[in-house]
């Protein structure tokens, strides 16, 4: 697997200073956690899920989830389990590598049951998403199930706990709950690939729903919760985990009250084609998505949950490390022993080696998985290469 594998060699040569590297299901989990990128959720009831997985992977998606939880009705669960197992077995017959595929369960016992249903086809599954994760017997049982199945099969299987319970949402219980979650996760650290945040559920506890013009970070209650989750669970002292950005739930435009969130100048540099691309993004409310991705990154989140394949390219375009970021990060890591302050090669900022060291390491890891842009190449170029054709309709 490799991000941007859908581009031609000629396109990639013009876009990248450093191309993304390949990875596999059994790659180092620290690399896989970053490589997840945009993770697409699909209901386990989809009758052509095997074909959907293969198609989405060819078009650039590296991680998908077959959902047995909120995306299906309560009376569909048994049939969904049967269908999901059948679809994954079909996919396993035709595909050798990629994407990273996960199963979102309702209860820990489904983990054992789905592993039994899949049999040898479990080899194409990378793990299980654990919704409504709590530091209780149910949360522990989910981690134990993934650990036991991985140990029994020798497969690289991981857990992706989702933080979305009322105990995480409510101020009086949040801190204690997050500390307990951290202690529980630490016991199974080798099986925890990344953490996800269920912002839709967190909003639901207060009757909130963000409009397409606003981001999760514009909702005070949610921004505070996300900040505390990052504070407790994403520290760079060896105790933290990769945490993905929340789901973006819009896939088409609607009535606007606020001005568009995309500046015109980056697109104007690409002449008429750039302006057309900007218009298409605005019509599909992807300016809100782009702003939320930027805020996710600035606040310590990596990747994003999506519910429509067209969102993936926007997520991945903004995961590419700019040439300026790459130059700064490389310079910092080249002078770790010396310390002090370096002038950026772009002559526009200082790079203070020790405070910026962890940022530099994360930036170069992101460059390894998503590439570093060539000098003068912007996210608009990647959007144009990856989503321009999709947005024509």
pLDDT tens sequence across 124-170: 999 999 999 999 999 999 999 999 999 999 999 999 999 999 999 99
Q: How confident is the model at residue 393 (pLDDT cuts 50, 70, 90)?
A: very low
So what's the pLDDT on residue 340? 83
CA 32, CA 43: separation in Å to the nearest integer? 23
With 50 as the cut, is the pLDDT of residue 25 above it?
yes
User: Residue 69 is encoded by which pair of tokens?
Assistant: 């939880």
What stretches of the chain show up as alpha helix (H) in DSSP? 9-15, 29-35, 49-58, 77-94, 108-118, 137-153, 166-169, 171-187, 199-204, 220-233, 265-268, 271-283, 286-298, 312-319, 323-334, 357-370, 379-387
Residue 228 has what DSSP assignment? H
* Neighbouring-strand partners of residue 341: 352
CA 154, CA 333: separation in Å to the nearest integer? 36
Count other Cβ atoms within 10 Å, centred on residue 54: 16
CA 40, 43, 46, 49 dihedral sign is positive
pLDDT tens sequence across 297-311: 999 999 999 998 988
With 50 as the cut, is the pLDDT of residue 10 above it?
yes
Least confident window among 8-17, 225-234, 251-260:
251-260
Contact 244, 305 (CB under 8 A): yes
Domains and CATH numbers, the chain: 24-315 (3.20.20.60), 324-370 (no CATH)
- Check residues 25 and 313 and name the one with the higher pLDDT: 25
Concatenating the DSSP letter of every residue in 67-130 gives ESSTTS-GGGHHHHHHHHHHHHHHHHHH-SS--EEEEE-SSHHHHHHHHHHHGGGGGGEEEEEE
Angle between helix 323-334 and helix 357-370 axes, rounded to 10 deg: 130
So what's the pLDDT on residue 173? 98
* Mean pLDDT across the chain: 90
* C-alpha torsion angle, residues 164, 196, 246, 31 (rounded to 10): 170
Q: Is the peptide bond before 8 cis (omega within 30 degrees of 0)?
A: no
So what's the pLDDT on residue 343? 81
- Check residues 340 and 243 and name the one with the higher pLDDT: 243
So what's the pLDDT on residue 391? 40
Distant-in-sequence, close-in-space partners of 10: CB < 8 Å, separation ≥ 6: none
- Check residues 356 and 283 and name the one with the higher pLDDT: 356
Phi-psi sector, 24: left (phi>0), alpha (psi -120 to 50), beta: beta
Least confident window among 138-147, 248-257, 362-371:
248-257
Q: How confident is the model at residue 271 (pLDDT cuts 50, 70, 90)?
A: low
With 50 as the cut, is the pLDDT of residue 389 above it?
no
So what's the pLDDT on residue 274? 59
């Amino acid at each position: 697997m490799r991000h941007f594998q859908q581009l031609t060699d000629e396109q990639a040569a013009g876009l990248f200073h450093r191309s993304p590297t390949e990875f596999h299901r059994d790659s180092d989990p620290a690399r896989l956690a970053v490589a997840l990128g945009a993770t697409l959720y699909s209901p386990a009831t989809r009758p052509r899920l095997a074909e959907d997985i293969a198609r989405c992977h060819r078009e650039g998606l590296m991680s998908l989830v077959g959902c047995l939880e909120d995306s299906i009705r309560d009376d569909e669960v048994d049939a969904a389990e049967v269908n999901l197992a059948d679809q994954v077995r079909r996919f396993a017959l035709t595909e050798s590598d990629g994407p990273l595929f996960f199963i979102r369960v309702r209860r820990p016992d489904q983990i054992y049951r789905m592993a039994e249903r899949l049999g040898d086809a479990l080899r194409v599954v990378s793990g299980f998403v654990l919704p409504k994760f709590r530091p209780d017997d149910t949360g522990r049982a989910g981690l134990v199930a993934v650990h036991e199945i991985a140990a029994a099969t020798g497969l690289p299987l991981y857990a992706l706990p989702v933080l979305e319970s009322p105990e995480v949402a409510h101020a009086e219980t949040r801190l204690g709950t997050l500390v307990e979650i951290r202690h529980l996760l630490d016991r199974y650290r080798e099986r925890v690939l990344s953490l996800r945040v269920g912002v839709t559920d967190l909003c639901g506890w207060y009757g909130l729903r963000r409009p397409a013009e606003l981001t999760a970070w514009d909702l005070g209650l949610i921004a505070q919760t996300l900040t505390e989750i990052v504070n407790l669970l994403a520290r760079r002292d060896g105790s933290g985990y990769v945490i993905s950005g929340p789901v973006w739930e819009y896939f088409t435009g609607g009535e606007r009250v606020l001005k568009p969130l995309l500046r015109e100048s980056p697109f104007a540099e690409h002449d008429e084609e750039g302006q057309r691309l900007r218009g298409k993004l605005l019509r599909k409310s992807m300016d809100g998505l782009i702003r939320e991705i930027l805020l996710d990154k600035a606040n310590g989140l990596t990747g994003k949950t999506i519910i429509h394949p067209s969102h993936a390219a926007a997520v991945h375009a903004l995961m590419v490390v700019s040439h300026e970021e790459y130059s700064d990060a490389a310079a910092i890591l080249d002078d770790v022993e010396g310390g002090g302050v370096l002038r950026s090669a772009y002559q526009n900022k200082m790079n203070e080696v020790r405070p910026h060291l962890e940022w530099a390491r994360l930036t170069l890891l992101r460059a390894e998985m998503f590439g570093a842009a060539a000098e003068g190449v912007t996210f608009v170029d990647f959007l144009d290469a990856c989503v321009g054709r999709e947005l024509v309709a």
